[in-house]
């Protein structure tokens, strides 16, 4: 029995460790195929701290409550209980074997028993959760839809079985040691110790050989399986997650949202005024992704948190961030033998490798290399165009991913090639790009129209909005008000613009606007993939802003549009445009706190606030809008089910504002259905794009009789202005005094 146990265990272990090591080296070689990327190795101390915080601290996973806690025990058990595997090898030779210095140390044994128990309980919890959320029950609402269930079941079986073997071995060890009562070292396994207590020493030893062998065989079967399956993210993430988190975009631990990364070729930013002859624009082949991108694909755990939060997937569209990453992973690894042999094609489609280099490449890899990265099923494409163009870049996937995959960056990189090289993008977006290029706004209206709201405000209130350089000098400015295209030109958002300008006037803020000198920031163009148009607009705006604010005390800009806010604050520094940018809700909260604005008049009603993606998730501004609502007398705020970090998109981001939504349910309708379930009097937001999308949805619902006629969709600035302009209600004693006088 002992000899058989030793031979079987050592034989399978040699195979398991060899395959595991070989595939680890293969994954490393594969990841190196990606393009260079800057800024992933700086601030090593911060990166290490972030990695330990997110892995050991499980900060991202624990947002999901019981799921995170159960996974923590499984993850820690996987690492901490590796010593029990070492102990099992020793027990093949000596049943009473114990780790030197640790084996009979009570604290270690207590810890081992605790982790063994909690690992088993943890995996059982995860198994139950997977079954309760199985696609056969939850359908498209299941975050596991599309995941590889066979691989998941295998991993769950391995973890559970190894945990059971650990406890059985603990029971056998206690019986061999003659333990006859509860002891700290056997506080969990004592019932097993007692159950094995009546067996002979020879029987106990044979059982130790058997269970130790089973434990080793199961562990090595797992090693062999993942050693033969480099695409098995549900297992490989146990190793790769540490590296993927360490090399995340931001060393301080923040997720890859906010700014998009500059467009690069070979790891170097492209000079759009004089691009290199061999510059690669965007991603058209999987090897054009950066090495971090290839590491992202390899690390995906298929947990589906991204999918569960994705507005496109939740409204019946073909995009699932998880399935996108899985498709890229499968394609990349299938193509890898071709790439590792030196294969690849230049921009003209010419093969770089010699016939001799490709001679030993499997036919399947050669066939995979011929597949277009973006293409329909008929074209045998890896990613369908409808998948690519369904993304709103809301960032929910990036925010939720526990291993820091950068979905939005990868999607935009693929869009860039489609727009700049293939000119293959939704036709409606062409109108938007033409307007930006010719008139500096997506509607293509005359530049002078940017001042229409100024005239309208003066006519209704008498307030004159100062224009920098004409009515106010830069040296006098507290803030430059960046109005934005929607705020200046769209009917609904213009109400926000006027309300904010009126509030600034009431508060006595010295501000000014650029007027006709203002142009679109280029947010929609960049997220569509038209980097050239973005660069043109951004360079023009940076020059204009630097000139306008040259003599200002501080280069401070306030804007009512989160998309402008994000672009000005986070992306213009890439073009040497460095400004202090705040959102209008932040300034309004500050003015209330200073007493320069006094919301005294009641605004009665139930309000629910929607977090704009580019204000909330992308820039973490959640509190100021809610603080403003809380300071307005009479308002009762009730949160929608999905809010703050898990807020649901309005459907306008990622240039979707300018594209028709032909597949599935409209995203704005999905969000408004969620709002209407609360029976609110007011739906409030802090973004002109959201305002347009929700107004369209509510108007349609009113016409269909699905929403009450008096329901309002307004910006928080409008709510505040309504309260500030109302006279303060008389105090109770004044009312009584007046009544007595009568």
pLDDT of residue 63: 87
Asked if 141 and 213 touch (Cβ cutoff 8 Å), the reply is: no
pLDDT at 50 > cutoff 50: yes
pLDDT at 370 > cutoff 80: yes
Mean pLDDT confidence for 665-690? 96
- Strand arrangement, sheet containing 635-637: 635-637, 605-609, 682-685, 712-715
pLDDT at 733 > cutoff 60: no
How confident is the model over 117-127, as pLDDT tens digits? 999 999 999 99
User: Which candidate, 296, 297, 267, 291, places its Cα nearest to that of 279?
Assistant: 267
What's the residue count for the chain? 742
pLDDT of residue 458: 95
Mean pLDDT confidence for 196-210? 93
Asked if 321 and 307 touch (Cβ cutoff 8 Å), the reply is: yes
pLDDT of residue 729: 58
Q: Is 376 exposed, middle or buried (0-12, 13-18, 19+ CB in 10 A)?
A: exposed
N-term to C-term CA, the chain: 107
How confident is the model over 308-356, as pLDDT tens digits? 999 999 999 999 999 999 999 999 999 999 999 999 988 778 888 899 9
Domain boundaries, the chain: 1-29+64-135+146-230, 256-424, 429-724
Q: How far apart are CA 289 and CA 601, in angstroms?
A: 56
Q: In sequence order, what are the residues at sequence separation of 6 or more whose Cβ sits closer than 8 angstroms to the Cβ of residue 469? A: 548
Q: Is 199 left (phi over 0), alpha (psi -120 to 50) or beta?
A: beta
More confident: 436 or 1 = 436
pLDDT level of residue 183 (50, 70, 90 thresholds): confident
How confident is the model over 140-164, as pLDDT tens digits? 999 999 999 999 999 999 999 999 9
* Count of CB atoms situated within 10 Å of the CB of 648: 25
More confident: 245 or 97 = 245
Residue the block writes with tokens 């074997």: 97
Mean pLDDT confidence for 364-374? 95
Across the chain, mean pLDDT equals 94
Mean pLDDT confidence for 38-51? 94
The DSSP 8-state label assigned to residue 345 in this structure reads B
pLDDT of residue 725: 86
pLDDT of residue 616: 97
How confident is the model over 473-513, as pLDDT tens digits? 999 999 999 999 999 999 999 999 999 999 999 999 999 99
Q: How far apart are CA 231 and CA 220, in angstroms?
A: 18
Q: How far apart are CA 107 and CA 102, in angstroms?
A: 9
CA atoms within 13 A on the CB side of 535: 16
Q: How far apart are CA 573 and CA 564, in angstroms?
A: 13
> 741 in helix, strand or coil?
helix
pLDDT at 739 > cutoff 60: no
Backbone angles phi, psi at 35, to 5 degrees: -75, 155
pLDDT of residue 735: 47
Our CA dihedral for 209, 210, 211, 213, rounded to 10 degrees, sits at: 80
Enter the tokens of residue 312. 């496109």
- Say what percent of the chain tops pLDDT 70: 98
Asked if 369 and 341 touch (Cβ cutoff 8 Å), the reply is: no
Q: Where are the alpha helices (DSSP H) in 394-451?
A: 396-400, 407-417, 427-439
pLDDT level of residue 103 (50, 70, 90 thresholds): confident
How confident is the model over 646-677, as pLDDT tens digits? 999 999 999 999 999 999 999 999 999 999 99
pLDDT of residue 64: 85
The DSSP 8-state label assigned to residue 39 in this structure reads S
pLDDT at 416 > cutoff 60: yes
pLDDT level of residue 137 (50, 70, 90 thresholds): confident
pLDDT at 734 > cutoff 80: no
Q: How far apart are CA 621 and CA 616, in angstroms?
A: 5
Q: How far apart are CA 103 and CA 185, in angstroms?
A: 10
pLDDT at 736 > cutoff 60: no
Q: Is the pTM of this model over 0.85?
A: yes
pLDDT of residue 375: 96
Secondary structure of 597-641 as H, E, C letters:
CCCCCCCCEEEEECCCCCCCCCCCCCHHHHHHHHHCCCEEECCCC
pLDDT at 100 > cutoff 90: no
pLDDT of residue 731: 58
How confident is the model over 286-317, as pLDDT tens digits? 999 999 999 999 999 999 999 999 999 999 99
pLDDT level of residue 742 (50, 70, 90 thresholds): very low
């Amino acid at each position: 029995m002992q000899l058989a146990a030793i031979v079987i265990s050592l034989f399978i272990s040699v195979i398991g460790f060899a395959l595991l090591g070989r595939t680890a080296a293969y994954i490393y070689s594969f990841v190196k195929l990606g393009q260079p990327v800057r800024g992933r190795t700086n601030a090593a101390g911060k990166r290490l701290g972030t990695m330990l915080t997110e892995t050991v601290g499980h900060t991202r996973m624990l947002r999901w409550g019981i799921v995170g806690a159960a996974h923590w025990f499984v993850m820690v058990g996987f690492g901490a209980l590796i010593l029990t595997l070492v102990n099992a090898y020793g027990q093949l030779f000596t049943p009473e074997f114990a780790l030197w210095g640790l084996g009979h140390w009570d604290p270690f044994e207590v810890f081992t028993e605790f982790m063994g128990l909690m690992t088993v309980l943890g995996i059982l919890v995860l198994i139950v959760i997977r079954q309760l959320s199985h696609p056969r029950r939850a359908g498209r609402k299941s975050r596991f839809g599309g995941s590889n269930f066979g691989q998941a079941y295998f991993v769950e079986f391995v973890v559970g079985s190894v945990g059971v073997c650990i406890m059985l071995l603990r029971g056998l060890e206690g019986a061999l040691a003659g333990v006859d009562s509860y002891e700290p070292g056997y506080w969990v396994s004592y019932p097993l110790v007692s159950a094995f207590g009546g067996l002979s020493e020879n029987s106990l030893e044979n059982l130790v050989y058997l269970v130790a062998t089973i434990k080793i065989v199961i562990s090595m079967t797992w090693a062999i399986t993942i050693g033969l399956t480099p695409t098995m993210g549900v297992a490989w993430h146990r190793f790769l997650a540490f590296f993927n988190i360490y090399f995340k975009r931001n060393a301080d631990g923040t997720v890859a949202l906010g700014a998009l990364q500059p467009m690069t070729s070979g790891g170097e930013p492209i000079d759009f005024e004089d691009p290199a002859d061999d510059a690669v624009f965007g991603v058209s082949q999987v090897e054009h992704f950066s090495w971090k991108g290839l590491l992202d694909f390899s690390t995906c755990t298929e947990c589906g948190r991204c999918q569960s939060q994705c507005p496109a997937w939740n409204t019946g569209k073909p995009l699932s961030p998880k399935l996108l990453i899985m498709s890229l992973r499968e394609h990349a690894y299938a193509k890898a033998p071709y790439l590792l042999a030196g294969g690849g094609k230049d921009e003209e489609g010419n093969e770089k490798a010699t016939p001799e280099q490709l001679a030993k490449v499997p036919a399947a890899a050669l066939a995979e290399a011929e597949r277009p990265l973006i293409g329909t099923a008929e074209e045998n494409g890896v990613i369908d165009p409808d998948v690519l163009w369904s993304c709103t870049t809301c960032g929910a996937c990036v925010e939720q991913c526990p291993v820091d995959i950068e979905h939005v960056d990868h999607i935009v990189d693929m869009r860039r090639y489609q727009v700049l090289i293939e000119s293959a993008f939704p036709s409606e977006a062409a109108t938007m790009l033409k307007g930006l290029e010719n008139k500096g706004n997506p509607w293509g209206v005359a530049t002078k129209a940017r001042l229409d709201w100024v005239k309208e405000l003066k006519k209704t209130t008498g307030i004159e909005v100062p224009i920098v350089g004409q009515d106010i000098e830069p040296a006098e400015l507290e803030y430059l008000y960046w109005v934005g295209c929607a705020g200046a030109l769209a009917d609904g958002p213009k109400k926000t613009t006027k309300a904010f300008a009126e509030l600034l006037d009431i508060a006595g803020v010295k501000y000014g606007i650029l007027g006709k000198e203002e142009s679109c920031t280029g947010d929609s163009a960049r997220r569509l993939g038209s980097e050239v148009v973005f660069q043109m607009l951004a360079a023009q705006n940076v020059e204009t802003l630097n000139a306008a604010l040259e003599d200002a005390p501080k280069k401070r800009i306030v804007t009512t549009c989160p998309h402008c806010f994000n672009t000005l604050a986070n992306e213009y520094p890439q073009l040497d445009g460095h400004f202090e940018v705040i959102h209008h809700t932040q300034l309004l909260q500050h003015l209330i706190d200073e007493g320069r604005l006094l919301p005294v008049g009641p605004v009665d009603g139930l309000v629910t606030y929607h977090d704009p993606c580019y204000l909330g998730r992308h820039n973490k501004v959640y509190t100021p809008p809610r603080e403003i609502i809380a300071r307005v007398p009479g308002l009762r705020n009730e949160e929608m089910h999905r809010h703050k970090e898990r807020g649901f998109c309005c459907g306008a981001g990622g240039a979707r504002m300018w594209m028709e939504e032909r597949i599935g349910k409209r995203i704005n309708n999905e969000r408004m259905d969620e709002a209407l379930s609360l029976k609110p009097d007011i739906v409030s937001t802090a973004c002109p794009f959201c305002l347009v999308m929700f107004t369209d949805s509510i108007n349609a619902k009113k016409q269909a009789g699905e929403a009450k006629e008096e329901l309002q969709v307004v910006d928080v600035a409008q709510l505040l202005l309504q309260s500030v302009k109302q006279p303060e209600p008389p105090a109770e004693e004044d009312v009584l005094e007046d009544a007595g006088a009568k």
